[in-house]
Structure formats: structure tokens, C-alpha cells
Amino acid sequence: MRTSYKMASIKHKNTKRIEGLDKNVWVAFTSVAADPSIVNLGQGYPDIPPPSYVKEGLAQAAMVDRLNQYTRGFGHPTLVKALSKVYGKVYDRQLDPFKEILVTVGGYGSLFSTMQALVEEGDEVIIIEPFFDCYVPMVKMAGGKPVLIPLRLKSSSAASSVSSADWVLDQEELASKFNSKTKAIIINTPNNPIGKIFSRSELQAIADLCIKHDTLCISDEVYEWLVYKGHEHVKIATLPGMWDRTITIGSAGKTFSVTGWKLGWSIGPEHLIKHLQTVMQNSLYTCPTPLQEAVGQGLLRDFELMGKPDCYFTSLALELEGKRDRMAAMLRQTGMTPVVPEGGYFMIADVTALNQDLSHMGDDEPYDYKFVKWMIKEKKLASIPVTAFVGEDSVKQFEKYIRLCFIKQESTLDAAEAILKSWNKD
């Protein structure tokens, strides 16, 4: 017995800042994939367990009275000190745990704090397509204007074996996007969904433009440890002139395969981080204590093993490389063309060659949305349409691509393989 309100009061309408931001690709697709009969390679989370020492760390923390109560707002001391140690080594610089680090609710929370702190009406923010879908709504919610530029497939790449490295920015096009209103550029490396790892020279080109136009750089590096053989993750903040203008974002969820812990961090110079801290203290104030303690302990353990094969940062990447190669082979066998990622845990695949006729599904949606829905229904295999990660102008360029997540158990990959092998047998 729910009362319906014939005329919602004008005062109960949404605020301007969230106008048009209610739709979301995940809302559309995650409930569908919750059906257990569907093999879910859609949303990006592992179905492999987190390392046991990280789970144990949490169980231990929960038994300490003080760790069930509020901790320091900008980050639990154990955690920020561990982050300063780990990243101090990676950046090769002394990081002040209290002034140059902010702990947030996932990498997502870091992106939000950054936008709210540093972007406002009149600011333009350059976003590279395909982009993790939240960048555009977050820039809009902060009053900024997203300016999009697509990665483009080099025409020189071999049709049969495409790598994420074959997707590049056109340098002239990139330079043309910068102007006096440009407040920041967001980069994501390794990139979701393509898996591209920006090379040092690519990052240098971006850095040169940031310095020339005096803009900020927001570097989303949540997949920083998931780097495959022959590739190197480079932090743009370590390039000359970049530390003072860069916020680098990391994630415990991606680092330790615990996306459900929702802890992330922003690292950068005090004069920028202090503004993110102001947003934090006026939005959620502090993150959960026992989870932060456990992540801190986990980081300290892996810090000692950094560079060695049994460091989780290294061992996870090794484990995933095998899954990456397996997935690429399965997709090729079906007739799709995978883009083999240099990093991260997603792979996009071009479905053009399958020639799947979806005209019966109408024409109010891009091809990949229709393909994904059709594949869920007919093949019981879930993925995500890549045009969810691009602006309208780039839809045609990306609508033959779907995104698959491969941080899955072997049994999940076996089930996916079975579906892909029998694809043409209907």
C-alpha cells in the first residue's frame, strides 16, 4: 500500500548539480548479470579470493576495541604511513603521510574529492576516450565542462593481432584541446577499458602540454600493479615539473582484490591535497577504521617483498597474464578480434567479424548495447558495451566493441570458453 504523489512538489525536485546524472550503465547491467545462470564477465571485480593475510588482518583489527571507532579523518595513521613507505619507494621521494596523502572511499571517492575540490563552473577538463564512465558526470556535477578526445587505432596495426599499445592519441588533436579554460586533464593508466599503458614519451607529451598551459593532471592509476610482461607503468607525477600539479589516485580494492572494501587514496603536493581534505571533512569525514588498518598491514607486508615474485603486486599480475592470454585466445577462436591489454584486468573485443544482425532490436541504441543485451539473453554471457565509456561523437568509432573482465576463477573462464566454443553451433 504505497501512496503515490500525483504532483510532486516543485521543492522536492533534484538540484541543478545532479540534473541528468541519474542514468548509469552499471544500474542497467549489473542486476541483469546477477542471475547465476549467466557467466558474468561484465562488472569489474574479481571472483578470486583476496590474499589470506589481508582477510586475516581485517579479522584481527575487528577484535581491537579502538579499531572499531573513528580514526583520523584524512586517513588512519597505520595506513597513511604504509602508503608513504610504499609510494615513497615507487616515486623515489619522501612523502608526508599526513599532508600529501588522503584516504578515500575507493578510487571513486578520490576522483570525487578531486573534482569537488578543484573543478568549478567555467573550468574545462580534458578526458580521454574511452574513459571510466564516472569522469564525465563527476566533472559535470562540479560545474565543469568535459572536453573529450579519443584514443585512435593506428592504421598500421595488424588486423589479426591488436594490442592496447596500438591505440594512441593524435598529438595535434590533443594540443588543440588545451586552452586558457582548461583546468585539468584526466588520464587513466593502465586504462579501463582498453588496458593501454601510456608510455613515458606519451606521458611526456601530455606533461609538456600541462606545463605549457598551466593545467592540473588527475592520474587514475588504480590498476598500477597489473602490468604485463614487457611493459612498465610510469607515474606522470614523477616527470619533471609534474609533482606540483598532479593528483595520483590508487585503490586498495584493485591492489588487494577487495573491491568491496572501498578504500582508495590520493597522493600529491600539500597545496592540492589540502583542498581534497576539505572536501573529505565536509562530505563523509572519515573512512572505516578496521579496513584501513588491514590495508595498512597488508601494504607493510608487501613492501618488504617489493620486487620479489611473492609480492602480491607482482604475483597477481603474473596470475592475470595467463588469464589474459587465455581469454584472448577464446575470443579469437569465436571470430572476435580482441585488443590484448598491456595492463589492467579488462579486454575489449571487436565483434564486427561475427556479422551479428541485430536490426530486430531497433535502432535507438548503439550496436554494442544491443549486442551485449543479445549476448546475455542468447548466450548467457555478460559483458559491458564500450560506448558506455565514450561521448556521443565517438560512438561510431567504438560501437563494435564489448568489454570483458578476466580477473575470474578458472571455472568461470571454463564456462565462458564453453559458450564461446559453441558460438556458431546454433
Partner 1 sequence: MSRKLHARRIEGIDKNIWVELTQLAADYKAVNLGQGFPDFSPPSFVQEAFCKALNEGFSMHQYTRAFGHPNLVKILAKFFSRIVGREIDPMEDILVSVGAYQALFCTFQALIDEGDEVIIVEPFFDCYQPMVMMAGGTAIYVPLKPVCCGPVLSSADWVLSPEELASKFSPRTKAIVINTPNNPLGKVYKRKELQMIAELCIKHDVICISDEVYEWLTYDGTKHVKIASLPGMWERTVTIGSAGKTFSATGWKVGWAMGSEHILKHLKTVHQNSVYHCATAAQEAVAVGFQREYDVFGTEESYFHQLPIHLHEKRLRLADCLKSVGLKPILPQGGYFMIGLATIPVSAFYSPEHRNEFQKYIRFCFVKEDSTLQAAEDILRQWSDGKLKKF
Kindly tell me which of 122 and 422 has the beta carbon lying closer to partner 1.
122
Please, what is the angle between helix 312-334 and helix 410-421, to 10°? 10
> What sign has the CA pseudo-torsion 373, 378, 382, 386?
negative
Per CB under 8 A, 43 contacts partner 1: yes
In the DSSP assignment, the letter for residue 51 is P
- Phi and psi dihedrals of 169, rounded to 5? -90, 145
Looking only at residues 176 through 205 of this chain, which bind partner 1 when binding is defined by CB under 8 A? none
Are the C-beta atoms of 29 and 42 separated by less than 8 Å?
Answer: yes
Residue type at 292 in one-letter notation: Q
* Distance from C-alpha of 389 to C-alpha of 191, rounded to nearest angstrom: 11
* Residue 200 beta carbon to partner 1: minimum distance, rounded to whole angstroms: 23
* Residue 301 beta carbon to partner 1: minimum distance, rounded to whole angstroms: 17
Are the C-beta atoms of 93 and 120 separated by less than 8 Å?
Answer: no
Per CB under 8 A, 161 contacts partner 1: no
Q: Which of 59, 306, 329, 353 binds partner 1 (CB under 8 A)?
A: 59
Per CB under 8 A, 7 contacts partner 1: no
Kindly tell me which of 168 and 211 has the beta carbon lying closer to partner 1.
211
Q: Which of 67, 125, 187, 203 binds partner 1 (CB under 8 A)?
A: 67
Kindly tell me which of 26 and 423 has the beta carbon lying closer to partner 1.
26
* Residue 77 beta carbon to partner 1: minimum distance, rounded to whole angstroms: 10
Q: What's the distance, Cα to Cα, between the start and end of the chain in Å?
A: 46
* Residue 158 beta carbon to partner 1: minimum distance, rounded to whole angstroms: 36
Looking only at residues 253 through 292 of this chain, which bind partner 1 when binding is defined by CB under 8 A? 257-263, 271-272, 274-275, 278-279, 281-291
Kindly tell me which of 179 and 283 has the beta carbon lying closer to partner 1.
283
* Distance from C-alpha of 272 to C-alpha of 218, rounded to nearest angstrom: 11
Are the C-beta atoms of 105 and 264 separated by less than 8 Å?
Answer: yes
* Residue 87 beta carbon to partner 1: minimum distance, rounded to whole angstroms: 22
Segment near partner 1 (CB under 8 A), from 55-63, 227-235, 336-344, 396-404? 55-63
* Residue 416 beta carbon to partner 1: minimum distance, rounded to whole angstroms: 17
On the CB side of 102, CA atoms within 13 Å amount to: 32
Looking only at residues 82 through 121 of this chain, which bind partner 1 when binding is defined by CB under 8 A? 105-106, 108-109, 112, 116-120
* Residue 327 beta carbon to partner 1: minimum distance, rounded to whole angstroms: 19
Residue type at 135 in one-letter notation: Y
Q: Which of 38, 39, 40, 46 binds partner 1 (CB under 8 A)?
A: 46
* Residue 217 beta carbon to partner 1: minimum distance, rounded to whole angstroms: 11
Per CB under 8 A, 72 contacts partner 1: yes
* Residue 346 beta carbon to partner 1: minimum distance, rounded to whole angstroms: 15
Kindly tell me which of 3 and 201 has the beta carbon lying closer to partner 1.
3
* 3 state SS of 286: coil
Give the contacts of 169 (CB within 8 A, at least 6 positions apart).
128, 149, 151, 152, 202, 205
Looking only at residues 124 through 153 of this chain, which bind partner 1 when binding is defined by CB under 8 A? 134, 137-138, 141-143
Kindly tell me which of 31 and 155 has the beta carbon lying closer to partner 1.
31
Please count the residues of this chain forming the interface with partner 1, following the rule CB under 8 A: 84
Q: Name residue, grid cell 570525487.
A: 112
Per CB under 8 A, 214 contacts partner 1: yes
Kindly tell me which of 63 and 158 has the beta carbon lying closer to partner 1.
63
Q: Which of 29, 33, 38, 71 binds partner 1 (CB under 8 A)?
A: 71
* Residue 176 beta carbon to partner 1: minimum distance, rounded to whole angstroms: 21
Looking only at residues 318 through 357 of this chain, which bind partner 1 when binding is defined by CB under 8 A? none
Are the C-beta atoms of 167 and 341 separated by less than 8 Å?
Answer: no
On the CB side of 39, CA atoms within 13 Å amount to: 22
Are the C-beta atoms of 381 and 39 separated by less than 8 Å?
Answer: yes
* Distance from C-alpha of 126 to C-alpha of 122, rounded to nearest angstrom: 13
* Residue 102 beta carbon to partner 1: minimum distance, rounded to whole angstroms: 13
Are the C-beta atoms of 295 and 263 separated by less than 8 Å?
Answer: yes
Q: Which of 35, 96, 208, 244 binds partner 1 (CB under 8 A)?
A: 244
Q: Where are the alpha helices (DSSP H) in 233-344?
A: 252-255, 270-281, 289-304, 312-334
Kindly tell me which of 199 and 315 has the beta carbon lying closer to partner 1.
315
Q: How many other CB atoms are there within 10 angstroms of residue 226's CB atom?
A: 25
Distance of CA 100 to the CA centre of its chain: 22
- The helix or strand, by DSSP H or E, that contains position 141, with its residue range, turns out to be helix 135-141
